[in-house]
Amino acid sequence: MLDRVTGMQVFVRVAALGSFSAAARSLDLSQTMVTKHVVALESRLGVKLLHRSTRRLVLTEAGRSYLASCERILADIEEAEASASLDRVEPRGTLRLNVPLTFGFRRIVPALATFSRLYPAVEVDLGLADRYVDLIEEGWDLAIRIGRLKDSSLVARRLAPCRTIVCAAPSYLEARGVPRSLDDLAGHNCLGYTLPSAIGANRWAFGAEGDRVVPVRGNLRANNGDALLAAAVAGQGLIYQPTFLVGDALRDGSLVRVLPGLPTLELGVHAMLPSGRQAPAKVRAFVEFLAERFGPEPEWDRGL
């Protein structure tokens, strides 16, 4: 079956040049193939598009109507292709971005004003959620994920390190004592993070590879890091959380680091993109923007 769009292009060229042979030369096709395309269109439509004679071609009434439709459709196709090509080279359009809740509030949202000034043709549709999202199924252009990456069909770009620290309020440590070793954690109120993570509700993983797992327990579990931070600052217990969350509290003295000589887990901040296709310019621009803004020594680690 001959391609319908190609048939439209051939018909429009025949009508414009008034000749099958002239259309064939301009399209670099044989005259036989040009004729086949027009005949296929007429057969599909069930109408005559052209009156042919040895001297000239004349459009029928149906042919004139169909020509106007073809010109409009082909123009729309060209515009769509031009727009798609432009999306590959110029950051523009809507960027659907999914990020974890706490990291989004603290590190992504404050950066969006600067990004918008740099790329005014890009609109951001921001989704804040700690749950795992399926980029393809849910139509996200890009996701920011924090953690140790598993095998995935997605393309990952590391944006920044994400260190973790055990800490507590001075009031808690004064009342309960300072843990000196991992074994001491068994005697402390360890506030747990309930979403799937190496820093879970009932176990904390230590070491660069997370190969030292310590069982913990406490009287509060939460699925949000800010909730655990607030509880820790209030003196409720120990938390083991990323520095992008606890850094400000450590710098102002609301929290104090414990077990400072112990290697803790580094999770990493990653941009996740669908694989198998070139990312649009708006996605590439945002990933590069974050990589430059965060860098190998992100500001949330300053002074720690």
Domain assignment present for residue 14? The answer is yes
Domain check: are 282 and 142 in the same one? yes
End of a domain among 88, 103, 132?
A: 88
CA distance 162 to 297: 10
| Domain range for 293 | 91-158+269-297
Whether 145 shows a pLDDT value over 80: the answer reads yes
The mean per-residue pLDDT over the stretch 98-118 comes to 94
| Position 303 in a domain | no
State the pLDDT at residue 72: 87
| Claim to verify: residue 195 and residue 221 sit in the same structural domain | yes
Task: Assess whether pLDDT exceeds 80 at residue 54.
Answer: no
Q: Is residue 15, in this structure, part of any structural domain at all?
A: yes
Q: Is residue 107 part of a domain?
A: yes
Q: Is residue 302 part of a domain?
A: no
> Tell me, what's the pLDDT at 154?
76
The CA distances from residue 224 to 24, 28, 100, 131, 190, in Å, are: 67, 64, 10, 11, 15
37 lies in a domain?
yes
Span 9-33, average pLDDT:
87
Residues 67, 203, single domain; the answer is no
For the segment 65-86, what is each residue's pLDDT rounded down to a tens digit? 998 898 888 878 877 776 666 5
Task: pLDDT band for 191, please (50, 70, 90 cuts).
Answer: very high
Look up residue 266 and give its DSSP letter.
B
Q: How many domains does the chain have?
A: 3
Handedness of CA 151, 196, 259, 108 (dihedral sign): positive
Q: In this predicted structure, what is the pLDDT of residue 22?
A: 86
Model confidence at 2: pLDDT above 70: no
For the cut 70, the answer to whether the pLDDT of residue 304 exceeds it is: yes
- Separation CA 273–CA 245 (nearest Å): 25
Q: Shortest CA distance to 273 belongs to which of 283, 285, 282?
A: 283
